[in-house]
Amino acid sequence: METLERLAVALESRIPGTTGHSRRVAAYAGDLAQWLGLSREQSTRVAQAGRVHDIGKTCVPGALLNKPGPLTSREQELVRQHAVTGAAMVAGLGDRALAAFVRHHHERFDGRGYPDRLVGEEIPLGARIIAVADTFDALTSNRPYRRAIGQARALEVLGAEAGTQLDPEVVSSFGTRYSEVSYAVAL
């Protein structure tokens, strides 16, 4: 796991605006798992998956990860493979749940996500939690293709995506508890 975490940090150094992304996603996801009533062990596993959720991007060409404009459909497909590749990398740890969280963190609650088009609760809860944490952090971080938005606006976007892209219960818990946590500004 330590090796994968180091790779995740190295990956962030290749993509402007992502330094600290996996650390923040892990923190948000671990806390969110606890707020949803998961055990300490389960919450730790979700946080670990958050730490390496994008590890498969190490196999995506840097030019695609840093492209300032829209991706072609072929380029999108190459980037989307990171979920499958990352899950395969994590599977080597022998933790099927951890690998499933990584594989399914881009599934959508309405079934239009990837890689397997899972719907609602077919998506492992850990992956649904990571999806909310990942989306929030992506929205509040500058990226090559767009500027960051403020935290309050990001929470509004999460609310708008509840039930379509994101699990509404997970979004509700995050929105309710986020402002109470000290990392709201610190991360």
Question: Any idea which residues carry the catalytic annotation?
Answer: 57
Question: For residue 169, what are the contacts with CB-CB under 8 A and spacing of at least 6?
Answer: 36
Q: What tokens does 116 get? A: 């397997």
Residues 47, 29 contacting (CB under 8 angstroms)? yes
Question: For residue 93, what are the contacts with CB-CB under 8 A and spacing of at least 6?
Answer: 1, 4, 99
Return the sign of the alpha-carbon dihedral for residues 30, 34, 37, 41. Answer: positive
Residues 48, 72 contacting (CB under 8 angstroms)? no
Residues 180, 165 contacting (CB under 8 angstroms)? no
Could you give the 3-state DSSP secondary structure of residue 167?
coil
Rounded Cα distance, 109 and 162, in Å: 8
